[in-house]
Structure 1
Amino acid sequence: MSKKQQYTLEYPVRCSPTILYEFLANPSGLQEWFADKVDERDGIYYFSWNGSEDEAEVMEQEEEKFIRFHWLHAPKDEFFEFAIEKSEVTNQTILVIKDFADKREVKDQSRLWDHQVKDLFHRLGN
């Protein structure tokens, strides 16, 4: 099996880091756009989509800055991360997503994230 590579996506968003972080780090916020159902117990997030389920643990987080998840089934060095940055020039909030995929799947995975983020922006009123 080929080793997955990390890729990064950036999305400018019109909302405060505080509000955005609620949608990235809390089960109720994630359930609005990322998965059909999200529960959290003891640092493990339980995600479900159309009847299938997956589990991820929080590796690291800093309030209003970032949260990094690790899928329990994935290799230890792989993760997905939501980070919130501010543009120094425009002072705009930027959502930065880091994830891993096989090289030939990066484009498809990026499209999937684009679709998910579109749902997030709809919920945020962007």
Structure 2
Amino acid sequence: MGKYKYTAEFEIRASNKMLFPYMTNPAGLAQWFADKVNIDENKVFNFIWDNKPHYARLTAQRLNRYVKFEFLPDGDLNSNDPAYIEFKLDMNELTQSSFLKITDYSETDNEDDLKELWTHLVSNLRETVGG
């Protein structure tokens, strides 16, 4: 099964500096993105959804601007095309709002499901940060 790239952008009334920890540290991510998030000594993130672990590495980061997590393949599979999630933050200086651009590259190819999922997750984030 091939992968599908879904991209969405959301306005959040909070600064990039305030939002960034919610995209990079386990406690912040667990408040809106996953049921639970752990990180091990090898800096592998374990995102838990519905009691199922999903392991990922933080492969790119730019302070207060950008984060990319690449998911590790299950079992012995060696994937040259890993699933990933990117969070990009842009600030509108005029409105003082941040825009969160999400790219979800995964095997989920139902755009309506992805739109509903990310709208719900970002709603959780807005509620958490008050934006």
TM-score, normalization by structure 1: 0.88
| Number of residues of Structure 1 aligned to a counterpart in Structure 2 | 125
Given that 1:70 and 1:76 are in contact with CA atoms closer than 8 Å, whether structure 2 keeps it comes out as no
The verdict on how the C-alpha distance between 1:40 and 1:102 changes in structure 2, with shifts beyond 3 A counting, is: closer
Distance between the aligned counterparts of 1:23 and 1:94, measured in 2?
14
CA distance in 1, matches of 2:52, 2:106: 20
CA contact (8 A) 2:9 2:102 kept: yes
Note the alpha carbon deviations across 1:59-115, whole angstroms, 9 max, x for none: 111110111001112744331101101236645310110112458412211211111
Percent identical residues: 31
Unaligned 5+ runs, structure 2: none
Q: State yes or no: 1:84 paired with 2:89.
A: yes
Unaligned runs of 5+ in 1: none
Q: Which has the higher helix share?
A: 1
CA–CA distance in structure 1, aligned partners of residues 85 and 108 of structure 2: 16
Alpha-carbon distance between aligned partners in 1 of 2:80 and 2:110, rounded to the nearest angstrom: 20
Deviation at 1:35, TM superposition (A): 1.1
Q: Which residue of 2 aligns with 1:105?
A: 110
- How does 1:13-28 map onto structure 2 within 5 Å? 13-28=12-27
- d(CA) in 1 for partners of 2:105 and 2:21? 23
What does the per-residue CA deviation read over 1:3-48, in whole Å, with 9 as the maximum and x for residues that have no partner? Answer: 2232211001111101100101111100101111111122210111
SS at match of 1:33: coil
Aligned to 1:60: 60
- Is the aligned partner of 1:33 residue 2:32? yes
> TM (normalized to structure 2)?
0.85
The runs of at least 4 aligned residues of structure 1 exceeding 6 Å deviation read none
39-48 or 88-97: bigger deviation: 88-97
CA RMSD, Structure 1 to Structure 2 (Å): 1.9
